[in-house]
Structures are given as C-alpha cells and as structure tokens.
Amino acid sequence: MTNRQVFAPLSLVATGLVCGRGGMALTRALDFSVTSGQCLLLRGPNGTGKTTLLLTLAGIVAPLEGTQALEGTDAEAGPQFHYCGHRNAIKPRLTVAENLGFWAAVNGATGLPIAAALEQVGLDRLGDLDAGYLSAGQSRRLALARLLVSLRPLWLLDEPTAALDSEGQDLVTRLIDAHLDMGGLAIAATHDPITLPDPSRMETMVLGARNSGGPP
C-alpha cells in the first residue's frame, strides 16, 4: 500500500465464532476475516456483544463455539494485539509520562518514544502532570498513546472515541489510518461514525440486527 509497511502480512480469521457471557450467546455464529491494512467496524445497539466479541478476540473470554486465529504470526512472538477497553488503565498517582513509560517497558518499547507518542495524542505539555488531574477525554488520549509506544499489528478498540471531542474523533481516525498504513489491522466497536480517507479499507459488521444474515 505504502512504503511504510512495518508488520508482516497477517489475517485474523474467525469461523463460526459465537460469543457470549455467562453461557448466554450474544452473537450469531460469526464468520469474518480481516487482513493487513483493513479495519473492521463493529456496529450495533447496546448489549449485542460488541465488547464481548472484542474480549473474545483478545482471549479474555472463551468463545462458546467456533475458533479464531491470527494467521501469519510467529507463535513464539508473544501477544500480537493491543486491547483498548472502556477502562483506561491509568494510575492517577503516576505522572502521564510514567504511566506511558510503564506500558512501554512491559510491552516492549518498539514504537514511538514517549514524548513523540504524547505529542501525537495532544498531551505533549502534560508529561509531568499527575495523571489523576487529566479530564476524561485526556485520559482516553493517554490510553490511546499506549498503542503507539509498542508496535503490535492488531488493535482491538472498544469505543475508542468515548469521551473524546470532535478533534479527538479525528485523532482516532488518523491513528487508525496510520496504523493501517503500516500494515496493521484494527477492529473497532463504535457508535460514532469513523470515516477513513480510503473507504475501501473499511468494512462494517452489524451485530444484533435481525435481518443482517451474513458477514460484510
């Protein structure tokens, strides 16, 4: 696509994946595949299993049926995805830079340096501030910066634009677009419309809709 490909070609393939919590199925059997440079948007009303699907893909919730696999990765390489959930995993007593530096250390500082990542998400002047003073939107930005400091090909984003202003929603779009440029994959559950500059990279899967029988 571009000359900035960083990740080896990958594809996330799910076959007959049924996700649910507490033994109750929330989704129909899902068959989909996402390949490098593609973004899959999950849409659908509350309670239709968007978060559960992301947690299942992250391996935190076991699927009720079916399988999912990230094809093309080295099995020894460690986790290949970033999960960005509702909770921001920010410690209020550490500074913004310390929070980010910690994740860079435990996930491998393979991506942007701390300062550059903070600049990307618009927190560049707040590095020394205690993270407890950040607003909800700023906390969200800090959570997104975590995806930038360690390179991992698959992003699982749960409501990435929650609490963000319209500029922040553009930021999420830009970050996803840049990630796809590098050959990454993204799966995002969202209520806000995310429109990438190149619509052909984006697919939408509606969960919970009665008459949408098949995958995109």
Report the residue from 9, 16, 78, 215 that binds another protein according to the rule CB under 8 A: 78
CB-wise, 88 or 161, nearer to another protein? 88
Report the residue from 13, 25, 29, 89 that binds another protein according to the rule CB under 8 A: 89
Task: Sort 166 into a burial class: Cβ within 10 Å, 0-12 / 13-18 / 19+.
Answer: exposed
CB-wise, 25 or 196, nearer to another protein? 25
Q: Give the containing element (helix H, strand E) for 133.
A: none
Whether 93 contacts 110, CB under 8 Å: no
Q: How far is the CB of 177 from another protein (least distance, A)?
A: 24
118 touching another protein, by CB under 8 A: no
Which structure tokens are listed for 4? 């900035």
CB-wise, 59 or 215, nearer to another protein? 59
CB-wise, 58 or 178, nearer to another protein? 58
- Residues from 121 through 180 that contact another protein (CB under 8 A): 146, 150
- Residues from 32 through 61 that contact another protein (CB under 8 A): 55, 58-61
CA angle 212, 213, 214 (to 5 degrees): 105
Angstrom distance (rounded) from CA 145 to CA 215: 31
Nearby residues of 76 by Cβ (< 8 Å), 6 or more positions away: none
Kindly write out the interface string for residues 8-27 of this chain, putting x where it contacts another protein by CB under 8 A and - elsewhere: -------------x------
Report the residue from 7, 32, 81, 155 that binds another protein according to the rule CB under 8 A: 81
Task: Sort 118 into a burial class: Cβ within 10 Å, 0-12 / 13-18 / 19+.
Answer: buried
Whether 145 contacts 120, CB under 8 Å: yes
Angstrom distance (rounded) from CA 49 to CA 25: 9
Q: Which residues bind another protein (CB under 8 A)?
A: 21, 55, 58-62, 78-79, 81-83, 85-91, 93-94, 98, 101-103, 105-108, 146, 150
